[in-house]
Amino acid sequence: MRQLTGADDHHVSVETPTQPQHTLKCMILDPAGAHEPITFERLRTWAAAVLPHVPPFRWQLAPPPMGLGHPFWFDRPELDIDYHVRATRVAAPGGHAELATALGQLLGGGLLDRSHPLWQLWLVEGLADGRVALVWKVHHSLADGVASVRMFSSVLQHGPDEHPVVPEARLPNDPDPTRRRLLLPALRSLGPTTAQLPALVNRSLRATRVGRARRREGLGGPARAFDSPPTRFNRKFTMHRTCAWASLPMQDLKAVRDAFGCTVNDVLIAVCSGALRSYLDRHGELPRTSLSATIPVSIRKEDELDDYGNRLTSWFVTLATDVPDPVERLAAIHAATRGARESQTARHSETLVDEWMGYKALWRRWIAFGNTAAGFARRPSFNVIVSNVRGPEPLWFDGAPIVEIVSVGELAMGLGLNLTGWSYRDRMAVGGSACPEHVPDLSDLVDGLLPALARLVQAARGAPASLSDA
């Protein structure tokens, strides 16, 4: 049994029927090379035998006794396979659009049942060219992007000749988490956090002072909250979700990076910005001021890879959607991400939000304050979420190569559009999610990613040595 961290508990605490906190990882397989036919029964047998040996797949949630502190994970290796492993079939002809429709239905298909470990695995059949998809529906409290890569790399194979192996290790099976069993560890966890609060307050105040000094000196920093214009992406969430994705060549992303001396993350953000600008302009909704984005950034260390859960900070950056020229837009985004990174380093604030999440009552009040402030300001804190995860090395499922991985993220905190890029093999799939009532044509928005990248590739052919020279 283990207690959730504040960051993991955050995803449990903020979850509502209109703000589910699960993500999807869609793995498209070519079953032609499989050692055995990939059937629903075979998938059920494999999942029951293999998945409990990776801790998050057997963790079940137990609420804290009397609301003291954070919930607990307790081990339940005997899975209800009828709940966890399911199947569906996409409509003909089983192409990109039909799979995206199925992903939207799974993402918006209700909350994961907390009386089970918080995940499901769906076999999606009926895809074109005889392909199938494995769609993992996983609660964000179990794993962020880096931890998800670790999970899937642990249960899948790394070559076409490998077979699934069932570990022989004996699995832990915790007793029922009664209030009496949980009360003592819950009380013990309160002491250290209480003792650390004064130091955390002092560090936070010092970080605030440093941030203000940097602004007075004209140095870079994060985008300001509530300075962003209201958009269709910032309306009240519904219970429904729509999904779409585009596949970007990694060689093009890297060519732009190398030409302009920035990062792949900068290029991805600029591509998303270009698609957003074009989409809003077509709808006559392009604000005169720039949209902004929350950029999740991993702070996980090498010795924390097996901890799973969440180890993230966030950068808040302008998307420069008010800048028509794509290279100038990329330059503004590069400056914004560099400023956000340098500001965090100067303020020693990389872990502050993660630590404040450990104080559940205070953190809830901070969230409530943010919601109230957004209402009074009639502006969102920020507009969208843009995330970039380096995916795993090539993977196989019992001889069948996984040819593409699409990650679809959750909506949260009034940010009603999530664009998540996962690099895998030689491409980056950028998955988008939104409420269909607000963005009924999400595929139109996501289809703008490739043209936005093409404009940057074209500009890169005659690019100067760096963005500062552009």
Active-site residues, by number, are: 140
- Beta strand pairing call for 2-3 and 72-75: antiparallel
Q: What does DSSP assign to residue 51?
A: G
Q: What does DSSP assign to residue 143?
A: B
Residue 397's alpha-carbon distances to 38, 423, 426, in angstroms, are 9, 19, 19
Cis peptide preceding 77, ω within 30 of 0: no
Closest by CA position to 389, among listed 347, 418, 415, 349:
418
State how far the Cα of 457 lies from the Cα of 144, in Å rounded to an integer: 31
Measured in residues, the chain has a length of 470
Tell me if 118 sits within 8 A of 381, measured CB to CB: no
State how far the Cα of 213 lies from the Cα of 353, in Å rounded to an integer: 20
Residue 109: how many CA atoms within 13 Å on its side-chain side?
Answer: 18
Long-range pairs of 208-212 with CB within 8 A, sequence gap ≥ 24: 208/347, 210/346, 210/347, 211/343, 211/347, 211/349
State how far the Cα of 357 lies from the Cα of 200, in Å rounded to an integer: 12
Q: Which helix (H) or strand (E) holds 83?
A: helix 81-84
State how far the Cα of 105 lies from the Cα of 241, in Å rounded to an integer: 7
